[in-house]
Amino acid sequence: MEAPQSTAAVTAVARMAVDSPEQMQDLGRRLAKVLRPGDLVMLTGELGAGKTTLTRGLGEGLGVRGAVTSPTFVIARVHPSLTGGPALVHVDAYRLGGGLDEMEDLDLDVSLPESVVVVEWGDGKVEDLSDDRLHVVIHRVVGDTEDDRRQVTLTGYGRRWSAVDLGAA
């Protein structure tokens, strides 16, 4: 899957191998340490790639309330912070086909300034919410579907990510 077209400049890129669901969740916990209120995180990957597993780790790292599960049928879930940090807004845009207009109905632009908003399947739908965003692309290893190995590419867009070492995550 290709990165979405954007007018924002790429300011940070990191690539890494992830060998298990536990490592994917740990990557989420580590990424949470660099996230702050107002961050938009787009997750791209085929079904079963590990998007929700990564988000579960983000939720643990951010110290939010509630089990982080796929919000496929409710579209979005808000997980308030238990530690005084930002809430996690977890969106699954898989069933939304209308682009930004349909996403605007979710009022993500209202939640964004004080929350970390994570959008699965957001390509072509949420890029206009913020020039500063983190795009996470998860590629499954081709072939054996029992293989848990993934290639993860983190791409930071905009000034927000220019000073962040994504490779340290």
The token pair at 155 is: 């791409």
- Give the pLDDT band of residue 3 (cuts 50, 70, 90): very low
Over the Cα atoms of the chain, what is R_g?
A: 15
Distance CA 96, CA 39 (A): 21
Please check the confidence at residue 96 and state whether its pLDDT lies above 90: no
Residues 6 or more apart from 49 whose CB is under 8 A from it? 138, 139, 140, 150
At 60, list the tokens. Answer: 């643990």
How large is the average pLDDT for residues 74-79? 78
> For residues 137 and 61, what is the distance between their CA atoms, to the nearest angstrom?
20
Q: What is the pLDDT of residues 119-157, one digit of tens each?
A: 998 888 788 788 899 999 999 876 666 778 899 999 999
68: helix, coil or strand?
coil
CA-CA distance, 13 to 113, in Å (whole number)? 24
Give dist(CA 37, CA 67) in Å, integer. Answer: 20
